[in-house]
Each structure stands twice: as C-alpha cells, then as structure tokens.
A and B are shown apart, each in its own frame.
Chain A
Amino acid sequence: AKGDGIYVGSETCMECHDEWYESYMKNYHAVKGDPRTPGAHQGCESCHGPGAAHVESEGEEGTILVLNPKSDTPVWEKNRPCLGCHTKGKVALWHGSTHEQRGLACSNCHNPHQEYPKGFSEPTETEVCTQCHKRIKAELLRQSRHPIREGKMKCSDCHNSHGTIADKLVDGQYSNLKCFECHANVRGPYLWEHPPVVEDCLTCHTPHGSPRTSLLKAKMPYLCQRCHSNVGHPSQLQARSSSESGQSVYVALNNRGFYRACLNCHVQIHGSNHPSGKSLMR
C-alpha cells in the first residue's frame, strides 16, 4: 500500500525516473544540509512514500503516491507530504483558506521538479495565478495597472494564496494596510478624512488594471458622483451638449468635468492635513 513498506533510496528511483531525479536535485528540497528537507530524510520517498512495493511491482499503479495535479490521488493525500513540513510562515493559515476549500492541491501551483522560483509549476508566479484567474490576466493589459507585466511586482506582493485573515487572500490584516505598505503617504490619519479611504481603498480603485487613469473603477467625475449625487456643484451633470451651451465641451464643463475632473481642484483626495483642507483642495 502507498506510504507503507521499506525505503529503497533515491538512487533507486533515479534508475527509472532519471529526468525527475535530475530536476529534483536542482531544487531546494534536495539540499541535504537542511534537516527539514526531503533530501535530509528519505529523498524522493519522503514525499512519494516508501518505494519497495513500487520497485518490486515494476511500477504498478497505486504502489506509490503520485502527486501531480492530474493524478487520481485525493487532494488531501496529495497535500499530506507538503503539509507535513510546511506548517508555518505563509502556509500557517492554509486550513480553511479559500484555495483549500476549493480543493486545490499544492501541486496545482507548485512542482518541486521544476527549476522555477518557489518550485512553481510555471516560469513566473503571475503565470501560475492567471492559469485560473483569467479575468486578471486580461486586466493586466489595461492602460492603468501595477508593474506586474514588467516583473517588478508579483501576485504575492499583495496576496498570500495559502490563506490570510483578510478577505480576498490579501496578505495583511485588512486590505488598506496592504496598500499603505507601498503608499504610506496615504496612510495618515489625516485631519480631514475622505471616508472611503478610511474604510476601503477599493471603493474607488481596482487593483489589477483599469481603463481609467490611477486604477480608478469608473470615469471621473461620474465615479465621484456615485456618492456625491445630491445637491450642489458636485452632482451637476457634466455632459451638457455643446450646441446647447454654445461652448466647446471643455469650457462648458467648467473645471469639473474635463481632464482629471473633480481632481482638478480636489487634489488631496486621500485626505488633507491643511487647516483649510476641509474640501480636500489644500
């Protein structure tokens, strides 16, 4: 049975699986000097189980633990060797996490037989994640985005796919804190606050890519008018026909509708520390 029996040693595995052995040897898992690695224990058999039965049966199916994502091995069994050692750090909150609940095996994203960073199954982390998150794959081609395409940021800079206490697997205690790590200038707290900044940056921004500048969720000024919808100049319609007004659309729109719209004046949109900054203009 899988997982029982006598160990035969990694060199025995190599006799048939030389390609896998070679790739494994290039991986950190093969480092024997670290007592936590499979290399310091039973090598291949640390993860795949004792191989005597497999050798004796000349590779009969079901005699060894097969971990690749397409195998019939139940997910919990596929994950057992990994979670036997990886119990802390980024993996500490795996149990009950979104990906665990979705029935993902570690081998869906990682392949210790590859030379890729962190044992990924694809050359880059972004390629691993966008295998499933296809909407985000498209969003990364938008005009406004983070420098992910250039490789200067990666998904795990903001997310921990193994589980977090925040929503959306954001690798922080709550999503704003994650944004503030790079955008500490927005953190404040400010004298005059803009409430959505206090509660959730994602009220106005979409992080993976947007057709709008500054990763905004909607076109200005209509984004602002989603809340500032009632009475006074913020709610005025900024789309009056040029023939109606007798002016070009830019002038008809005053300072409020064109270019960066509300931000033409309310530049301190994340908050102001100026005694006269109540309207976020100073």
Chain B
Amino acid sequence: AATVRLPSGERVKISPEQVEKLKKQPGIYLIKHPPAGGLRHVILIPLPKELGDGFLLGTPKDVSAALDAVGVTGTDRQRVPGTFSGEIGVTGRITDGEDDSAEAQEYRDLETPVYGDLKVKYEKQDQYFLEVTGKNIGRDDQHYTAAGGRYGKFKIEASYDELTHRFADDAETIYSGNGSDNLSLRGPAQDVPFADRANRLNALSANAKSVDIELERKKVELSAEVSAYDPLNFRVELGREHKDGTRPFFGSFGLDDAVEITEPIDYDTTEVKFIGEYAKKPFYFNLSYYFSLFENNTDTLTWDNPFRATDAVGQPSKGRIDLAPDNHYHNISLAGSYMNLPLKTRISANGAWGWMIQDDDLVPYTTNTALTTPTGDDASDPNSLPEKKTDAEVRTSIYQVLLTSRPLQFMRAKGKFRYFDYDNNSKQIDFPGFVDADDFFTTPDAPGATSIKNLPKSYDKSTATADLGFDLFEKTTLTLGYTYEQTTRTNSEVDKQEDQIFSGAIDSSFFTWADFRVSYQRTQRDISDYDFDVYLEGGEDLQQLPDLRKYTQADMTRDRVQFNATVYPLDPVVVSGSFTYGNDDFDDSPYGLLEDKHYIFTLEADYAASDRLNFHTFYSFEYYKNRQKDFGEVPSAPLVDADWFSRSEDLINTVGAGVQAALIPEKLDLDISYSFSKVDGKLEFFTPAVNTEDFDTVDETRLHILDSKLRYRASKHWTVTLGHVWEKFDYDDYNRDGFTNVPLDSGGASNGAYLMGTLPEDYEVNVVYLRVTYRF
C-alpha cells in the first residue's frame, strides 16, 4: 500500500487492489491528466507511481463513499487519537451597594460570590465530537449544554437553562399564603365602614410582611439532527419549561378598593418540533410540525376583601380570579421552492395550518354566596352556569407565494402574495348575566337581549407586494415598492380595512469613502364604516365599549423617512449616522390617538489608532411625541362638555464610549466601556372644563454602566482577568411620589388602595471580580 494525500490534506493508505476496486465505484473515474478548464464540483486524488500514477476523480461525497466501500479504513484520520480542548474559568467577586435590589438583579444574579464557566470538547478529529459547556455555574442564571455526534451524520444536543425575573424585593403585603392559590389577610377579617378604610389599611399595613416577588424559569431542551442522508435532513426538538414564583397583581372590588396582591405562577410548557427538509438545487422542500402544551398548575386565585368579613350583595368577603387556562397548539407547515425558472427566477411557496385549543373548566360566577342568578340559583355554585367548559378553538392558516427574478442584468423584481386567516370557532356561550367584581349580578341591558354572550373575533389579511430594483449606475440602486393589504374582521367595529404602502429607496456605494441609503415610505389606511353597535350583539349596552375608537382600525396616513450613511474619511476611521422621521397621522379620528410622531438621530464612530488601540463612541437622540383626544367626562363633573387633549413627549439621549488597548501585545489587554441612557417623559393636558395638572416627571430614568477589565495572559494556558462594573439606576415618576403603601389625600381619606411597592426602584452597585481561566 502507498500513502495518498486527499485534497482535504488527510493522508490515507491505499493498495493497488483497492485502486482497482475504486475505479469501479459509482461516480469515480481514473484519469491521466487534470482537466485544463478547472474543476468545480469534483475533487482530484493524485495517485503515486506505486499505484500507477494518474488521478482519481469524483465528488467529495462519492469519493468518501468509495473509500469506505473498498475498505480504506486504516487511514491517518482513524488512527488519530481523540483530543480534549477547552477552558475552565472560576470567578470570585465582591459586590457593594444594593446588590439584592430586584431592579439590579432583574434578569441576573449579583449575589453569588463565586461561580464558574466551562467549555470542554472531546474530538476524534473529523469524526466524533462531544462538547460540554457551562455558563454562570452556581448562579441563579446558569446555563449548560452538552452536544455530541458524528460530523456530517448526526448531532444530539441537550441544554438546561435558568432565568430569573425579579419584580420587587422587600415588597409589603397584607396577606399570607403568597405563591399559593389563596391569600388570607394577616389579621382578622372585618366589616369596615366606607369612611374607615384608611384606618383599616393602616392597621393591616402595620402587620404587613415583606416578600420578594420574582419568577424563575427552568428549561430543559433536547434536540437531534440527522444529516447523514443529505440532501434529506431531519431535526427533532423537545422542550420542557417550568416557571415558578409570583408576579405583581391586583385584586379589586369595583371602582375602588384595588389591593395589590401576588399572582401565583406555576406553569409547565412542553414543546415538540419536527423538521424534515430536502434541499438539492434547484429544489427545496420542508415539512414541519410544532406542538405546544401550556399547563397552569394553579387554576384560580382567591383573596380576602380587607373591608368585608361576610358576604352581602355589593360586599363580597372574597374575590376570585380565574388564572391563565391550560391550552395547546398544533401547527403543520409545508414549504417548497424551485430556482431554475427562466429569467433567473425563483419561486417559493408556503402553507401553514394551526389549531389553538382551550377547554378549561369554567369557575362559578362569583365567590359571593349572597348573590343569585335571575332564576334564583346560587351564583357561587358551578351548577348555575349554562356550560361547564370553555370549548374555545381557533384555526389559523397561511398561504404565501413569493417570486423573485432578475429579468435583466440591471433589474430585480419581487412579487409576493400572502393570505392569513385567523378563524375563531370558539363556542358562543349564552350567560344570563355576569357578576361585576363579585359585587352584583348584572343582567343584559341591550334592547331585546336575554343573554350576554362572548363574541369570538376572527380576521383575515390578504397582502400583495411588488418590488422593482434598478441598478441606476455603478453601485447605486433604486428600489420601488407597492403593497396592498386588505383586512376583514368579524365581531369587530371595522369590517374591512385597506392599507396601501408606497416605498422608494436609493442605496449607493458609489464613492469609495462612503455608503448611504435614503428611503421613504407612505402608508395610506382606509377603513369601512365604524360600527359602534357591534357589542350590542353580545347582549350588553355598555356605554364605553360600543363607542370606543380603535386607533388600529382608523383611517391613517403613515410617513417614514430614513437616511443612513457610513463614511470612511481615513482608513482607520469609520463614522456612521442615521436619521429617522416617522409620523402616524389619524386626522379623521374624532377621538383616540390623533398623531404619533418620532425623530431619531444616531451617530457612531470607530477609530483604530493602531493595531493595539481602538476607540468607539455612540450617541443617539430620540424624540417621541403623540397627541390624543378623549371624550370629556371628568371625575365629579361627568356632564361637562370637556373633551380633553393630551400630549405625551419622551426625550431620550443615549451615549456610549469605549476603548480597547493591547497594553502589552499578546499579554495584557485593557477594555473599558461606558454607556448612559437618559429618559425624560412629560405629559400635558388641555380641557376647557377644569384646570388640569401636567406631569413633568414621567418614567424619568438614568442608567449608567461602566465596565472595565484588565486581562493578563500569564501563559499559553492561564489567563487572569480583573474587572469592575459600576451601575447606577435612578427612576422617578409622578405615580410613585408621596406615598408608601396607602395613598391618602390631605384629609387622610383613602380610596381603598393598598400598594405593595413593586414599581422600579433606584439602585447603585459596584462589582469587582477576579476571573482565572485555564485553557487547554
């Protein structure tokens, strides 16, 4: 046998007998000289003199199969022993400041003092591999993956992830049983006169308990991918997520008495996905299936009324909310494309069908045992309901055809049609009425109505798009586009809506020192008549619902202008900037949103001063403004002609800068970055009826992040990183000032509200860390 070098660089031993066999393998040819015109999809294996000179020719796949078939197994490749590589890191840190703050730790863990990182790969060169990674090991936000397989054949992967979401630390609650389905007052229940609510809440507040409100997601995923039968490929994914904890929530009893409580979260979500693909030019096919099952292990939440010990009409002792129902979803999709049509045309088509199903048990109308239905049944008894289950189902379907073409060298064309249907087949249930906030049994008041029923909403959208692109001159293109979209709805105020979108853009890289793009887009939305009475069909003559004015279903003109440029004034300097103007104009709307406008300006610069020194800066200015008009009822003066206007403005400045320096090349690096985000919000009001109070402090935030690290490569294997992170967050809002848990007026009167303190809080933290990494 002689040693033969494959084009990939691999060396194999081949005997003359094996060469004879190889010549007979499908797709393998023995030639004397390489073709003069070059080779595109095949490889050449030069044979040494001992094997008769010449070249074996074939596609890489055929060659690989042929080598296997004739038993060229004793290759260098298979004799190469497996190798381990990777890195292991340990980080120790000291944290100072409000490191237990929910805002500071919203999605991360700052409190664990020591944690690890890991990445280890075992590889039998070009054959098998196994890779294990761990990130933030030991922290509340840790992540692990393990992946293994055979290159080009299959891959199996497993992962585990933890993610926290913290809402509040040390929130004050007047209930015990947080996280369960039943919240009991921390103190005896009482029937409290309306005027004594402030005293009652203050007494409960004195006995309040401190709780952290947070969620934790734990997710396990498994996937398997088979590529051994390429161009046929398969992938299967399984996922299971458990979400556990509490979330800020409210329980209210009518227009007053809103008590902040915790919502128990105990969710399991299971997902299954299968994808089969066939891709061999000019064809592509895809078949996919997706299944998602959501299970809520806590069906309802019941909480005590702080002001009532016994049930009475209009005065429930408890409230009950039906929490998110179990549901499941199936989706099947098919896709295909063909790319060898005339005029460099490619066509692709997609179809997808989905089913959302929810059939949870219905809970009784109320917990209030003093209430009866119109037929005299106990409204807190589930047997008084006309149905036991929801029986809700939505079917979705999507069809899309896309055609792209380059009919002329200087011209591109695209045409697309898409149809989406959301068909809500949920059962309409005729209820004799409903119980408003566990207070009163309310019966239908629409003319002639005998029941109140749900109105399942369905809609479909048909979208047709045509784009044409032209090469105007060297490296400069003009793109023109037109889209027509029609939306039709059932059980909604607007049956039919038409959107026409006109767009144009010029892209140019004509100058060697700059690229730029300028684009304009106008959307014209026209609606059919606005049907104010659609909700009467549900049996209720609620004043506010029939007359609401949806800005998403209103005549509108939308303008978008964008300019982007990247300039290379000097070789080591890159400057890029953008300007965006957007305006949604609802001039024909009598009420609701009238205008939504924004200007955004960004500027970014990179300067590579040398191979060892880089600077980076970033600035953005954002201005958002919107106006709305609402019908003018005001508290205590409901009949005054007092249409009111509001103007909301947000001014946002963001600054960033950084420097990366190789202080000692290949040894010592310095990396410093700083960012600052400043948000100033303002709300102004105008009405002829009463004096208004503007709010100058609306979600005003300041966030500083300074991240510095010094990395020292002590040797080929060891790296030491010393770092410091400083973060400071300030939040101010008119909503938060002037009270802690019980908002009172100047006379000490309460509106019955008890607040736990779950809005964002200021924080400042310093983290100093030392990370030691061993690489092998």
Looking at the assembled complex, report how far the CB atom of B499 sits from the nearest CB atom of chain A, in whole angstroms: 12
Within 8 Å by CB of B687, from A92, A177, A237, A281, lies A237
Task: Output the least CB separation between B392 and chain A (Å).
Answer: 4
**Residues of chain B in range 630-654 having any CB-CB distance to chain A below 8 Å:** 630-636, 638, 642, 644, 646, 648, 650, 652, 654
A7 in contact with B7 (CB, 8 Å): yes
**Is there a chain A Cβ closer than 8 Å to B250's Cβ?**
yes
Q: Is B695 an interface residue (CB 8 A)?
A: yes
The one of B257, B333, B437, B618 that contacts A134, using a Cβ cutoff of 8 Å: B618
Q: Residue A22 at the B interface, CB < 8 A?
A: no
One digit per residue, 1 when the CB lies within 8 angstroms of any chain B CB and 0 when it does not, for chain A 234-264 equals 1111011111111111111011101110011
Are B416 and A36 in contact, with the CB atoms below 8 A?
no
State whether A184 touches B685 (Cβ < 8 A).
no
Q: What is the minimal beta-carbon distance from A64 to any residue of chain B, in angstroms?
A: 13
Beyond A141-B654, A240-B635, whether A35 also contacts B683 by CB under 8 A is: no
Q: Whole-angstrom distance from the CB of A203 to the nearest CB of chain B?
A: 5
| A265 located at the interface, meaning its Cβ lies under 8 Å from any Cβ of chain B in the complex | yes
Q: Assess the A255–B256 pair: CB atoms within 8 A.
A: yes
* Pairwise interchain contact A143-B294, C-beta atoms closer than 8 A: no
| Interface positions of A from 254 to 282, Cβ below 8 Å from B | 254-256, 258-260, 263-265, 267-268, 272-279, 281-282
Binds A, one of B22-30, B183-191, B548-556: B548-556
In the bound complex, residues from chain B placing their C-beta under 8 Å from that of A187 are 292, 294, 327, 329, 356, 358
Check: B563 CB closer than 8 A to any chain A CB: no
Which of B424, B548, B648 is the one whose CB lies under 8 Å from A219?
Answer: B648
A58 interface residue, CB < 8 Å from B? no
- Cα(A233)–Cα(B622), bound, Å: 33
**CB-defined contacts of A258 to chain B, threshold 8 Å:** 735, 743, 753
Is the Cβ of A248 less than 8 Å from the Cβ of B8? Answer: no
Known: A233-B633, A235-B630, A275-B364. A141 touches B735 (CB 8 A): no
Flag if B634 contacts A192 (CB, 8 Å).
Answer: no
A59 touches B (CB below 8 Å): no
* B703 part of interface (Cβ distance < 8 Å): yes
* B523 beta carbon closer than 8 Å to chain A: no
Cross-chain contact A142 with B296 (CB below 8 angstroms): no
Given A239-B685, A275-B364; A255-B753 close (CB under 8 Å): yes
A239–B635 contact, CB under 8 A? no
Q: Known contacts A199-B552, A211-B650; decide if A229 and B630 are in contact (CB<8 Å).
A: yes
Instruction: Evaluate contact between A191 and B429: CB separation under 8 angstroms.
Output: yes
Determine whether the beta carbon of B699 is less than 8 Å from that of A247. no
B507, chain A: closest CB distance, angstroms: 6
Residue A200 at the B interface, CB < 8 A?
yes
Contact of A274 among B322, B403, B469 (CB under 8 A): B322
Known: A43-B7, A88-B286, A274-B322. A231 touches B392 (CB 8 A): no
* Of the residues B319, B324, B540, B654, contact of A186 by C-beta under 8 Å: B324
Bound state CA distance, A32 and B248, in angstroms?
54
> B354 on the interface (CB 8 Å rule)?
yes
1/0 contact trace for B657-687 toward A, CB 8 Å? Answer: 0000000000000000001010101010101
Interface string of B392-406 (1 = CB under 8 A from A): 111010101011100
Q: How far is the CB of B306 from chain A (nearest CB, A)?
A: 14
Contact with B along A191-214 (1 / 0, CB 8 A): 111011011100100000001110
CA of A88 to CA of B38, assembled, Å: 28
A196 to B631, CA, bound (A): 21
> In the complex, which residue of chain B has the Cβ closest to the Cβ of A220?
B735
A230 neighbours in B (Cβ, 8 Å): 544, 547-549, 591-592, 630-631
Q: Could you say which residues of chain B place their CB within 8 Å of the CB of A174?
A: 396, 398, 420
B398 touches A173 (CB 8 A): yes
Taking the closest CB of chain A, its distance from the CB of B328, in whole angstroms, is 9
* Per-residue interface assignment for chain B, residues 401 to 417, with 1 indicating a CB less than 8 Å from any chain A CB and 0 otherwise: 01110000000101010
Chain B residue with the shortest CB-CB distance to A174: B420
A225 to chain B, nearest CB (A): 5
The answer for the CA separation of A37 and B377 in the assembled complex, in Å, is: 73
Contact B60 A211 (CB under 8 A): no
Alpha-carbon gap, A142 to B677, bound state (A): 7
Chain B window 725-755, contacts with chain A (Cβ cutoff 8 Å), 1 for yes, 0 for no: 0000101001100110001111101111101
Q: Does the CB pair B753–A259 fall under 8 Å?
A: yes
Task: Judge whether B753 and A264 touch: CB under 8 Å.
Answer: yes
Q: A200 to B551, alpha carbons, bound, how many Å?
A: 13
Contact A89 B735 (CB under 8 A): no
Would you call B743 and A248 a contact (CB within 8 A)?
A: yes
A66 to B90 CA separation, bound complex (whole angstroms): 41
CA distance A267 to B3 in the complex (A): 75
- The chain A residue sitting closest to B64, CB to CB, is A35
B92 within 8 A of A: no
The yes or no answer to B309 lying at the interface (CB within 8 A) is no
Is residue A114 contacting chain B, with contact meaning CB distance below 8 A?
A: no
Q: What's the minimum C-beta distance from B753 to chain A, rounded to whole angstroms?
A: 6
- Complexed CA–CA distance, A192 and B435 (Å): 14
Q: Looking at the complex, which one of B233, B257, B654 makes contact with A88 (CB distance below 8 Å)?
A: B233
- Taking a contact as CB atoms under 8 Å apart, the answer to whether A184 and B292 are in contact is yes
Q: Are A241 and B691 in contact (CB under 8 A)?
A: yes
Contact segment of B200-208, B449-457, B713-721, B764-772: B449-457
Contact A42 B43 (CB under 8 A): yes
**Residue A150 contacts which of B108, B333, B454, B457 (CB distance < 8 angstroms)?**
B108
Judge whether B7 and A240 touch: CB under 8 Å: no
Q: Is B711 an interface residue (CB 8 A)?
A: no
CB of B523, distance to nearest CB on chain A (Å) = 13
Q: Which B residues touch A276, using CB under 8 A?
A: 365-366, 434-436, 438
Q: Does A93 contact B (CB under 8 A)?
A: yes
B669 to chain A, nearest CB (A): 13
Task: Using A5-B38, A42-B43 as known contacts, say yes or no to A188 and B356 having CB atoms under 8 A apart.
Answer: yes
Q: Which one of B13-21, B171-179, B344-352 is at the A interface?
A: B344-352
Distance from B344 Cβ to chain A, minimum over Cβ atoms (Å): 10
Q: Contacts of A244 on B, CB cut-off 8 Å?
A: 690-691, 693
Which residues of chain A (113-172) have a CB below 8 Å from chain B? 132, 134-135, 137-138, 141-143, 147, 149-150, 152, 165
**A190 within 8 A of partner (CB):** yes
In angstroms, how far is the closest chain B Cβ from the Cβ of A255? 5
Note all chain A residues with C-beta closer than 8 A to B749.
247, 251
Q: A173-B354, A236-B635, A247-B745 are in contact. List 18 more A-B contacts (CB 8 A).
A: A36-B230, A101-B479, A138-B652, A165-B350, A174-B396, A177-B331, A189-B327, A196-B552, A198-B424, A219-B681, A225-B592, A230-B630, A231-B547, A248-B743, A248-B744, A251-B750, A255-B258, A276-B435
7 A-B residue pairs with CB within 8 Å: A92-B348, A190-B325, A229-B548, A263-B250, A265-B252, A274-B322, A282-B437
Q: Measuring CB to CB, which residues of chain A are less than 8 angstroms from any residue of chain B?
A: 4-7, 9-11, 31-37, 39-43, 50, 87-89, 92-93, 95-96, 101-103, 132, 134-135, 137-138, 141-143, 147, 149-150, 152, 165, 173-174, 177, 180-181, 184-193, 195-196, 198-200, 203, 211-213, 218-219, 222, 225-237, 239-252, 254-256, 258-260, 263-265, 267-268, 272-279, 281-282
A-B interface, 8 closest residue pairs, ranked by CB to CB distance from nearest: A232-B544, A33-B126, A34-B152, A33-B151, A147-B107, A185-B324, A141-B677, A184-B294
